[in-house]
Amino acid sequence: MSSSKQATKPGIPNHVGIVMDGNGRWAKSQGKVRLEGHKKGADVARQVVRWAQKLGIRHISLYAFSTENWDRPKLEVRALMGLLAMMLPKTLPEMKENGVRFRVLGDISPLPAKARKAVEQACAETCDNSAIDLILCLNYGGQQEIVAGVQQTVKWLESQSDSEKALAELTPETFRSMLWRHDMAPVDLLIRTGGECRISNFHLWDAAYAELYFSDLFWPDFTENDLQIAVEDYAARERRFGKTSEQVCR
């Protein structure tokens, strides 16, 4: 599991995942083309890392492009990839200055060359930073991650001297180590903007016990205060992980 040098503050989620929904609908409401909504959303994504860092959040993951997003209009997909290739190099100096470690969750091999190069460069140039992890979920899908985990587990079982015994003793912790997220902190709080109450194939494994928070705001309208409200809502909840309140309070 990825660890940070500083402990998370009490009541503050260690890892926050965000489904940044509503860029297109925001643009439509403003009489703008969808790309303008994605540009505004990208700017908010850059700012949310700063806001998270101020709150003491140690890991923040942003659902930037899902495996299903390839089915969007080709012009929009090309525009999104172009935006990624343009924005990452521009924000790299800021990430380096603020100790942001840039990471990726998903399969970036199908990305266009310029976008893939920008992602790889950002990962390489920030790998030693430790103030906060920014995990960009690109060509990511929770179901696809679990399938990949099953495939990895089968390979692991085949390498065991007693595969039947290893399978019988397989634990959720061992299986998580086979997932793409094996070296990432578990998600504590999952936020979705845009008014939809579903998680859309995001962080399926960790969502088992993550706290869910849904906002009616379109992502471009999401502010620092809105993140603060979501974190305060999280802090007021009791995370029992299947236990009783009495057990948790001991």
- Residues forming the active site: 21, 69
Distance CA 176, CA 206 (A): 9
Q: Distance of CA 170 to CAs 54, 150, 165, 177, Å?
A: 39, 12, 9, 11
Residue 95's CB: how many other CB atoms inside 10 A? 21
**Stretch (H or E) spanning 189:** strand 189-192
**CB of 83 within 8 A of CB of 161?**
no
Q: What is the DSSP letter of 196?
A: -
Distance CA 186, CA 71 (A): 29
